[in-house]
Amino acid sequence: MTKVQLEKNVLSENDRVAADIRRQMTDHRILCLNLVSSPGSGKTSLLEKTLAALGGDLRMGLVAGDVQTENDADRLKAAGGAWVRPIVTGGACHLDARMVQKALSDAPFEKLDLMFIENVGNLVCPSSYDLGEDMKVVLISTTEGDDKPSKYPGMFRRSSLMIVNKTDLMAYTDFSRDKVRDNALAINGRLDILELSCRSGDGLDGWYDWLRDRVRAKKA
């Protein structure tokens, strides 16, 4: 009973801070996306490609979470990220709203259209923590298996978009695009689905269009 109450208190405080972040983003009409995946699915690669393709059109801020290093943040800075802040959790398997709020303390909100929060590689813990985002975007890759939605339903239920990355490797795996779509939509029938390859570039235009549409909607 005590454990359940403690968890409720922790999540309640997290939700309060997340609401403050969301209010701040809304006041400045910034689209905020929480990118979640298991390790190695390609979150950082996708953000590198996005910076290269849309950096001249959309003003982007990036928060890069990791367990021990700032490697992802360094990659995003090298890719052209003008405002990038790392969060090193020191072992925690997810970001929480307080960590994000601290990272955003010097964010130039008035100069941003889009904020990416790259979460720690994990499909379990991050599903329970609201970070003040407009949407969660969940990435999986064709090398992981098409049963990921069935194994981690909480994350797919709370996400607005599923990205299937590494489609260039599909021919070398047993991954089924039909099965993964069926599994995901059985959990969340409103889930948008995009397929792409960060390596070959196939499908990236669909991702860029999806982003532009959501940024325009947030500013309307």
Give residue-wise pLDDT tens across range 78-89.
Answer: 999 999 999 999
Exposure string (b/e) for 39-78, b if CB count within 10 Å is 16 or more?
A: eebbbbbbbbbbbebbeeebbbbbbbbbeeeeebbebbbe
Q: What φ, ψ does residue 113 adopt, rounded to 5°?
A: -105, -25
Range of the domain at 149: 2-219
Work out the pLDDT band at 1, boundaries 50, 70, 90: very low
Structure tokens at 38: 């298991």
Structure tokens at 154: 């909480």
Q: What φ, ψ does residue 117 adopt, rounded to 5°?
A: -115, 110
Structure tokens at 169: 């490797």
Q: Is 62 helix (H, G, I), strand (E, B) or coil?
A: strand
- Chain centre to alpha carbon of residue 81: 16
Structure tokens at 84: 């990038």
Please state, in angstroms and as integers, the Cα–Cα distance from residue 180 to each residue in 12, 56, 123, following that order. 33, 34, 16
Tell me which residue has tokens 């299937």: 164
Work out the pLDDT band at 11, boundaries 50, 70, 90: confident
Q: Which helix (H) or strand (E) holds 87?
A: strand 83-88
Q: Which of 8-17, 47-56, 116-125, 182-191 has the lowest mean pLDDT?
A: 8-17
CATH code for position 97 = 3.40.50.300
Q: How many domains does the chain have?
A: 1
pLDDT tens-digit map of 142-172: 999 999 999 999 999 999 999 999 999 999 9
